[in-house]
């Protein structure tokens, strides 16, 4: 059944009052339509919390425009106050918010957000701040860990100011969740609290040499294992790979342990690069080795860095979803894996404790504006988006289009190991005793970043919005193909040697063709991953004729482009559903925080529909001749082959 139909079926069980689900009337069909056209997430929490609904008594009536009170904020050129209602269709009556509120810190690759949601999933206040990546050398991408923390704290302060202006005290927030750019490595000294180097960002490719060296040495490493260790490794499915195997197969040597191939993308490779760089004979200082020797070394991802600081350095934790992106966590035990830690030369004592995605990790420190409030939800941003879309059933698939593009498909309580270039990852774990849910993922390194490049580096357009406008002015790219392999190609190709290319240029080409080619590249890359998902699902089911999923749930900055979303539906041949409320990642983190703090239970099975976080969605259906689509897909694969320097036949 399409999700929209399920939502309507579910909505008939939802209790509502005005725009919020607070009274106990069951919706008649006409009201159902009203409900599904509402601007913000609505079907979320009241339905799983019957009887706990309560309106905040001292709150002044507030309308959409009533939320635009950000005048007390400190000025900053990079801060942007987001008006929740600006994403929304006009409202016909004053908005009421349902307590309790839950906050979500969304620390992404290009910006940080803090959003406060009410219990029904409506945005109460929101603030975001953009920041710049540091690009010191070709292929290097860094962030200042202090900037990640400071932007989060400033966004929190700004939201609290907005809430106060609306008459909501900060303690109407009962829990806060953290979601973050994944894989990005942060290394710091627990005694000083200072980072020992810039954060190495997920799309940094400095580790190409490290990947090649470790791949070449992996079999030799396995030879060093004791017989008992070798038995354990073999039982887990790790075996020496024949030299004649393909490069990718040899890089996938630890797939059965951690679900990931050796690639520049993952945190452990970044860690190993740092260790090796310090061990170079010419290295002037060895802060990491020195801090490690003192027992003060903390090595982790952005979630840990934020939580550690916000809890007053009390909690050094990460969650299973973030840990599953490091290459150090065992997917079955959900613990740091001794073999992987040895392979990457990391002492597990430097790593955080791995916890579920929904539990209390600690409380905001006394001197923090949110002092005393629990931090009780955590997930990598792509997993949080999966939760935000309520992709709780096996087969539910979402794609988030931001800097990169990340397609995750829920596989239930069973990890599926891809034969087609996808990653296996933990999707979420809804509490310390809950079973983990797994997903297969196709990560595409370059999506929105290609549009930003056209705007900022090439000057082809002044705004990313213009890209869609120009693209829509032509019916085809006139033979132009743009493969934005700025960090090599990730899923499903995993070719670090792939190069960014634009092919098919003629005197006829103008920027409209280039803009269209950039958007087509994003949609094609997503289709490449969807094809891989389909092949993996078919082989897992032992049925090559298994039908593809019929709906793709999408979000992220690039989905502001209707053109892109329609193109995605056309090329993938599936319905694409885009929520009106775009902050799906933050909503997922807020949901986890509520579950972790015991504000509401995680609803599964038939109740999952009632827990749907997002009320209204816009549906895009395929509208292209299949033959045309097939030709476009073939042409794209040729472009990929050129980018990799391969023959088309190899694909
Ligand atoms: N109207 C638009 N059309 C196409 N792309 C857009 C539009 N608005 C924003 N984007 C792109 O969305 C990306 C940012 O999305 P976001 O989800 O905030 O990314 P991230 O989480 O990676 O920081 C940028 O690359 C930006 O160019
Ligand atoms: O911050 P985003 O949205 O670019 O997401 C980055 C991913 O988590 C990288 O794996």
Q: Work out the average pLDDT over 245-267.
A: 91
Q: Does domain 392-549 have CATH number 1.10.10.10?
A: no
* Ligand 2, pocket-test mutation among 104, 131, 181, most atoms within 8 A of CB: 181
Cα(333)–Cα(520) distance, integer angstroms: 40
Q: How sure is the predictor about 614, in pLDDT bands with cuts at 50, 70 and 90?
A: low
Joined tokens for residue 289: 């080795």
Place of tokens 């986890």: 592
378-420: pLDDT as tens digits: 999 999 999 999 999 999 999 999 989 999 999 999 999 999 9
554 Cα: distance to centroid of ligand 1 (angstroms): 13
- Are 601 and 52 in contact by the 8 Å Cβ rule? The answer is no
Q: Residue 403 C-alpha to ligand 2 middle, in angstroms?
A: 7
To test ligand 1's pocket by mutation, which of 132, 447, 464, 467 has the most ligand atoms within 8 angstroms of CB? 464
β-bridge pairing 101-107 and 173-180: parallel
User: Given this model, what pLDDT does residue 87 score?
Assistant: 38
Q: What is the Å distance from ligand 2's center to 33 Cα?
A: 34
In three state form, how does the secondary structure of 556-603 look?
CHHHHCHHHHHHHHHHHCCEEEEECCCCHHHHHHHHHHHHHCCCCCCC
Report which of 284, 527, 324 is spatially closest to residue 436, judged by C-alpha positions: 324
Ligand 1 mean position to 594 CA, how many Å? 28
* Residue 500 zone, left/alpha/beta (φ > 0; ψ -120 to 50; rest): beta
Query: 560 CA distance to ligand 1 centroid (A)?
Result: 8
Concatenating the DSSP letter of every residue in 515-557 gives HHHHHHHHHHHHHHHHHHHHHHHHHHHT-TTPPPPSEEEEESG
Task: Read off the DSSP letter of residue 641.
Answer: H
Rounded distance, CA 560 to CA 111, Å? 17
Delimit the domains of the chain by residue range: 392-549
Q: How far apart are the first and last CA of the chain?
A: 34
What's the confidence (pLDDT) of residue 496? 85
**Predicted local distance difference test score (pLDDT) of residue 539:** 84
From the list 257, 231, 150, 230, the residue with the least C-alpha distance to 195 is: 150
pLDDT in tens, 120-143: 889 999 999 999 999 999 999 999
CA-CA distances (angstroms) from residue 256 to 110, 225, 319, 391? 32, 17, 20, 24
Task: Report the pLDDT averaged over residues 592-604.
Answer: 89
Residue 589 binned pLDDT confidence (cut-offs 50, 70, 90): very high
Q: Which of 68, 268, 246, 94 is nearest to 158 (CA)?
A: 68
Average pLDDT for 600-627: 74
Mean pLDDT of 275-299: 92
Dump pLDDT digits (tens) for 27-61: 222 222 222 222 223 333 333 222 222 221 222 22
Q: Give the torsion through C-alpha atoms of 457, 267, 146, 171, to 10 deg.
A: 110
Average pLDDT over residues 167-194: 96
| Radius of gyration, alpha carbons of the chain | 24
3-state secondary structure of 343: helix
| Residue 248, pLDDT score | 82
Mutate to test the pocket of ligand 2, among 398, 402, 487 (most ligand atoms within 8 A of CB): 402
The answer to whether residue 93 scores a pLDDT higher than 70 is no
Mean pLDDT of 5-25: 28
* Centroid of ligand 2 to alpha carbon of 442 (angstroms): 12
What's the pLDDT score for residue 21?
Answer: 26
Cα 616 to its chain centre, rounded Å, is: 21
Ligand 1 pocket residue status of 380, Cβ below 6 Å: no
Asked whether residue 206 carries a pLDDT value surpassing 80, the answer given is yes
Ligand 1 touching residue 464 (CB < 6 A)? yes
User: What is the atom index within ligand 2 of the atom nearest the CA of 203?
Assistant: 9
What does pLDDT average to over the chain? Answer: 83
The answer to whether the beta carbons of residues 533 and 397 sit under 8 Å apart is yes
Q: Does the structure show a pLDDT above 50 at 355?
A: yes
560 ligand 1 Cβ < 6 A = yes
Which whole number is the average pLDDT over 278-288?
88
The DSSP result for 411-455, as a single string, is EETS----SSS-EEEEEEESSTTSPEEEEEEEEES-SHHHHHHHH
Looking at residue 14, its pLDDT comes to 24
pLDDT at 548: 59
| Separation CA 430–CA 373 (nearest Å) | 20
Residue pointed to by tokens 């239930």: 412
**φ/ψ bin of 71: left (φ > 0), alpha (ψ from -120 to 50), beta (otherwise):** alpha
CA 513 to ligand 2 centroid distance, Å: 28
Tell me the CA–centroid distance for residue 406 and ligand 2, in Å. 8
Sign of the C-alpha dihedral, residues 21, 23, 26, 27?
negative
Q: Does residue 7 carry a pLDDT above 60?
A: no
Tokens of 154: 């400033």
**pLDDT value, residue 236:** 86
Let me know how many helices (H) and strands (E) the chain has, helices first.
19, 24
**Both tokens assigned to 647:** 């023959």
What is the reported pLDDT for 240?
A: 86
Whether residue 606 is predicted with pLDDT greater than 90 in this model: the reply is: no
Specify whether the CB–CB gap between 368 and 310 falls below 8 A: yes
Atom of ligand 2 nearest to the CA of 404: 4
Asked whether 448 lines ligand 1 (CB < 6 A), one says: yes
Q: What is the DSSP letter of 341?
A: H
- Ligand 2, atom 10: nearest CA belongs to which residue? 182
**Ligand 2 centroid – CA 618 distance (Å):** 24
CB 620 within 8 A of CB 133: no
Query: Could you identify the atom of ligand 1 that is nearest to the CA of residue 181?
Result: 21
pLDDT grade for 24, boundaries at 50, 70 and 90: very low
- pLDDT reading at 328 higher than 90: yes
Q: Whose CA is nearest to atom 5 of ligand 1?
A: 558
Q: Tell me if residue 319 falls in helix, strand or coil.
A: strand
Q: How far is CA 562 from CA 355, 555, 567, in A?
A: 39, 12, 8
Measure 181 CA to ligand 2 centroid, in angstroms.
Answer: 4
**Measuring from atom 23 of ligand 1, which residue has the nearest CA?**
110
Instruction: Report how far residue 399's alpha carbon sits from residue 249's, in angstroms, rounded to the nearest whole number.
Output: 26
Query: Per residue in 463-512, pLDDT tens?
Result: 999 999 999 999 999 999 999 999 889 999 999 889 999 999 999 999 99
User: Cα–Cα distances in Å, from 421 out to 129, 171, 526, 530, 647?
Assistant: 34, 46, 13, 11, 19
Identify which of 200, 202, 450 to mutate to test ligand 2's pocket (most ligand atoms within 8 A of the CB): 202
* Residue, of 634 and 56, whose pLDDT is higher: 634
Q: What is the pLDDT, as a whole number, of residue 46?
A: 30
The pLDDT score that the predictor gives to residue 604 is 63
ipTM of the complex model: 0.98
Say if ligand 1 is within 6 A of residue 111 CB: yes
Q: From ligand 1's centre to the CA of 441, what distance in Å?
A: 20
Q: Using pLDDT thresholds of 50, 70 and 90, give the confidence band for residue 612.
A: low
Mean pLDDT of 58-76: 24
The pLDDT value recorded for residue 421 is 93
Our mutation pick for probing the ligand 1 site, out of 381, 465, 558, counting the most ligand atoms within 8 A of Cβ, is 558
Per-residue pLDDT of 545-562, as tens digits, reads 666 567 999 999 999 999
């Amino acid at each position: 059944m399409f999700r929209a139909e399920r939502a309507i079926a579910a909505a008939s069980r939802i209790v509502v009052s005005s725009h919020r689900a607070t009274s106990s009337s069951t919706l008649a069909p006409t009201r159902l339509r009203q409900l599904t056209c509402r601007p913000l997430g609505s079907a979320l929490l009241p339905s799983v919390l019957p009887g706990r609904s309560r309106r905040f008594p001292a709150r002044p009536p507030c309308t959409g425009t009533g939320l635009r009170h950000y005048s007390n904020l400190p000025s900053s050129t990079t801060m942007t106050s987001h008006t929740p209602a600006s994403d929304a269709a006009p409202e016909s009556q004053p908005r009421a918010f349902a307590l309790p509120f839950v906050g979500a810190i969304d620390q992404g690759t290009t910006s940080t957000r803090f959003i406060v949601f009410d219990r029904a999933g409506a945005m109460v206040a929101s603030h975001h701040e953009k920041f710049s990546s540091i690009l010191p050398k070709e292929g290097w991408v860094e962030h200042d860990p202090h900037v990640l923390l400071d932007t989060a704290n400033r966004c929190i302060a700004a939201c609290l100011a907005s809430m106060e202006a609306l008459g909501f005290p900060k303690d109407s927030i009962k829990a806060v969740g953290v979601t973050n750019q994944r894989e990005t490595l942060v290394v710091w000294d627990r005694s000083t609290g200072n980072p020992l180097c810039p954060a190495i960002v997920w799309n940094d490719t400095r580790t190409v040499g490290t990947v090649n060296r470790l791949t070449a040495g992996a079999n030799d490493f396995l030879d060093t294992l004791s017989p008992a260790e070798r038995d354990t490794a073999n039982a887990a499915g790790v075996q020496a790979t024949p030299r004649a195997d393909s490069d990718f197969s040899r890089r996938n040597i630890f797939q059965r342990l951690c679900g990931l191939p050796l690639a520049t993308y993952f945190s452990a490779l970044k860690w190993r690069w740092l260790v090796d760089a310090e061990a170079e004979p010419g290295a002037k200082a060895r802060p990491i080795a020195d801090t490690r020797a003192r027992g003060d070394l903390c090595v982790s991802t952005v979630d840990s860095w934020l939580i550690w600081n916000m809890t007053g350095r009390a909690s050094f934790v990460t969650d299973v979803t973030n840990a599953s992106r490091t290459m150090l966590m065992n997917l079955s035990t959900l613990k740091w894996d001794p073999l992987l830690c040895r392979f990457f030369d990391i002492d597990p004592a430097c790593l955080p404790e791995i916890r579920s995605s929904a539990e209390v990790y600690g409380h905001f420190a006394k001197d923090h504006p949110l002092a005393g409030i629990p931090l009780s939800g955590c997930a990598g941003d792509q997993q949080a988006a999966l939760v935000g879309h309520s992709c709780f059933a096996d087969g539910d698939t979402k794609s988030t289009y931001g800097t990169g593009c990340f397609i995750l498909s829920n596989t239930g309580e069973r990890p599926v190991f891809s034969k087609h270039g996808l990653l296996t990852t933990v999707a979420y774990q809804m509490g310390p005793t809950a079973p983990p849910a797994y997903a297969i993922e196709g990560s595409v390194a370059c999506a929105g970043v290609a549009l930003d490049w056209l705007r900022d580096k090439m000057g082809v357009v002044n705004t990313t919005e213009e890209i869609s406008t120009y693209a829509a002015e032509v019916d085809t790219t006139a033979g132009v193909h743009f493969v934005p392999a700025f960090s090599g190609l990730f899923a499903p190709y995993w070719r670090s040697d792939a190069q960014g290319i634009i092919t098919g240029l003629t005197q006829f080409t103008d920027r409209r063709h280039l803009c269209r080619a950039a958007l087509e590249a994003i949609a094609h890359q997503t289709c490449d991953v969807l094809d891989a998902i389909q092949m993996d699902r078919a082989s897992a089911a032992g049925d090559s004729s298994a039908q593809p999923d019929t709906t793709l749930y999408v979000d992220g900055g690039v989905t502001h482009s209707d053109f892109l979303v329609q193109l995605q539906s056309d090329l993938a041949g599936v319905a694409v559903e885009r929520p009106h409320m775009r902050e799906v990642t933050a909503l997922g983190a807020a949901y986890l925080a509520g579950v972790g703090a015991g504000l509401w239970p995680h609803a599964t099975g038939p109740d999952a529909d009632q827990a749907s976080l997002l009320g209204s969605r816009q549906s895009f259906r395929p509208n292209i001749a299949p033959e045309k689509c097939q030709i476009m897909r073939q042409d794209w694969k040729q472009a990929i082959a050129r980018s990799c320097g391969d023959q088309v036949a190899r694909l």
